[in-house]
C-alpha cells in the first residue's frame, strides 16, 4: 500500500512545455509514472515525450482521466494553476514552484481547505512511492520499496535521509516533501495520520527545521500513534533572525526555535538525533523494539 499516490495514479503536468516541465516529465516517465497529460495555455495539440498537451486542466481531466497534478510553472502563475487544478476536481495537487509570495498563498490555501483537493507544497520536491510512482523532482534512483514512511520540510535532507535508509537496507513506503514555505497546503499533522493508517508503513521519519510551529503542532498526534516516529530538526545552529534556505526557516518573536521543537518531540517519545547518520540506526532500533 501507499499514501497519496501509487502505480495507478494518472498524472497531469501543468507547465509541461517549459524547460523544467519537459525535463521532469521525462524523469517521471522514466521512473514508470503514468504521466497521461500536460497543460500549457495555447499549446493544445502538441506533445512532450509522447504526452499530449491541452489548453486547460479541465480539458486534460476530461480526456485522459488525470487525477493528480504536478505544477511546474513560474511563481506568478502558480496560485492560479493551483486553483484551476482544484476547480477541475483533481484529488491531489503537488506544487513544486518556489518563490510564491506569502500573501498570494494565504487565500489559495484557505480555498483549497474547503475543497476535496489535497495540496502538497508549494516550494516542495513532491513525493514518491518507491517502485510505483514519482510526482515531482525527487531522485528516484536512491529510493527502495520498504516499510519506512518519510515526511520532510527539506528537499535536500529528504534525499540524504532516503539514501542513508536505502544503504542501510531500510526501504521506504512513501516519501513526502511538504515544502519549506510559511504557508503550506499540507503539514506534518496531515501526513502522519495517513502513515498511521497505512499497513505498509512500520515506522516514520519526520524531518523538520527551524521556523514555524508545525513540529510542535504535530506532537500531540504523535503521542497517540502506534508506530514509532524518529525526528530530525535542521538549523539548530542558526542565529535568531537569520533565514536558512527556506522562506519558513527563520526564528522570530521567540517562536520556531530548534530547542522548542526538540523538546516538544522528545516529550512525546520521539528521538531527535544531532546527525542524519544516526537515523537509520534509530529506525532499526524502533522496529526491533
Phi, psi for 207 (deg, rounded to 5) = -105, 110
Range with the lowest mean pLDDT among 1-5, 36-40, 81-85? 1-5
pLDDT confidence band for 207 (50 / 70 / 90): very high
CB atoms within 10 A of CB 65: 11
Split at pLDDT 50, 70, 90, the class of 96 is: very high
Range 18-27 contact pairs with CB under 8 angstroms and sequence separation of 24 or more: 18/72, 18/73, 20/72, 20/96, 21/48, 21/72, 21/73, 22/48, 22/49, 24/70, 24/72, 24/96, 24/136, 24/137, 25/49, 25/51, 27/134, 27/137, 27/140
Cα–Cα distance measured from residue 232 to residue 274, given in angstroms and rounded to the nearest whole number: 7
Determine how many CB atoms are found less than 10 A away from the CB of residue 125: 26
Cell triple for 116 = 476535496
Tell me 276's DSSP state. G
Question: How large a percentage of the chain has pLDDT more than 90?
Answer: 85
**Right CATH for 10-120 from 3.30.870.10, 3.40.50.720, 3.40.50.300, 1.20.1600.10:** 3.40.50.720
* Cell digits of residue 141: 534512483
For CATH 3.40.50.261, list the domain ranges present in the chain: 139-288
The catalytically annotated residue of 24, 34, 246, 261 is 246
Mean of the per-residue pLDDT values of the chain: 92
- Does 141 qualify as catalytic in the annotation? no
CATH 3.40.50.720 intervals, the chain: 10-120
Q: Residue 258's pLDDT band (boundaries 50, 70, 90)?
A: confident
User: What whole-number distance in Å separates Cα of residue 199 and Cα of residue 1?
Assistant: 7
pLDDT in tens, 125-158: 999 999 999 999 999 999 999 999 999 998 889 9
239 pLDDT more than 60: no
Does the domain made of 139-288 have the CATH classification 3.40.50.261?
yes
Q: Minimum mean pLDDT among 62-66, 168-172, 173-177, 240-244: which range?
A: 240-244
Residue pair 261/215 in contact (Cβ under 8 Å)? The answer is: yes
Q: Can you give the pTM of this predicted structure?
A: 0.92
Distance of CA 1 to the CA centre of its chain: 18
Amino acid at each position: 500500500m501507499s499514501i497519496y499516490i501509487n502505480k495507478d495514479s494518472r498524472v497531469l503536468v501543468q507547465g509541461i512545455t517549459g524547460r523544467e516541465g519537459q525535463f521532469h516529465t521525462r524523469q517521471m516517465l522514466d521512473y514508470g509514472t503514468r504521466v497521461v497529460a500536460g497543460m500549457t495555455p495555447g499549446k493544445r495539440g502538441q506533445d512532450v515525450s509522447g504526452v499530449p498537451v491541452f489548453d486547460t486542466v479541465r480539458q486534460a481531466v476530461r480526456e485522459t482521466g488525470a487525477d493528480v497534478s504536478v505544477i511546474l510553472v513560474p511563481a506568478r502563475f502558480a496560485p492560479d494553476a493551483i486553483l484551476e487544478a482544484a476547480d477541475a476536481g483533481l484529488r491531489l495537487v503537488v506544487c513544486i514552484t518556489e518563490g510564491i509570495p506569502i500573501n498570494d498563498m494565504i487565500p489559495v490555501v484557505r480555498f483549497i481547505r474547503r475543497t476535496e483537493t489535497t495540496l502538497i507544497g508549494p516550494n516542495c520536491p513532491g513525493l514518491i512511492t518507491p517502485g510505483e510512482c514519482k510526482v515531482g523532482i525527487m531522485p528516484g534512483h536512491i529510493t527502495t520499496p520498504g516499510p519506512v514512511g518519510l515526511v520532510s520540510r527539506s528537499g535536500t535532507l529528504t534525499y540524504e535521509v532516503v539514501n542513508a535508509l536505502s544503504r542501510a537496507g531500510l526501504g521506504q513506503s512513501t516519501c513526502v516533501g511538504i515544502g519549506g514555505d510559511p504557508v503550506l497546503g499540507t503539514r506534518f499533522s496531515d501526513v502522519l495520520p495517513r502513515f498511521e493508517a497505512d499497513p505498509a508503513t512500520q515506522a516514520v521519519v519526520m524531518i523538520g527545521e527551524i521556523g514555524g510551529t508545525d513540529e510542535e503542532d504535530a506532537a500531540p498526534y504523535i503521542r497517540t500513534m502506534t508506530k514509532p516516529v524518529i525526528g530530525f530538526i535542521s538549523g539548530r545552529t542558526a542565529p535568531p533572525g537569520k533565514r536558512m534556505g527556506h522562506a519558513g526557516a527563520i526564528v522570530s518573536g521567540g517562536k520556531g526555535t530548534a530547542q522548542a521543537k526538540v523538546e516538544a518531540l522528545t516529550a512525546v517519545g520521539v528521538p531527535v538525533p544531532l546527525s542524519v547518520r544516526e537515523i537509520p540506526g534509530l529506525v532499526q532500533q524502533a522496529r526491533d523494539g
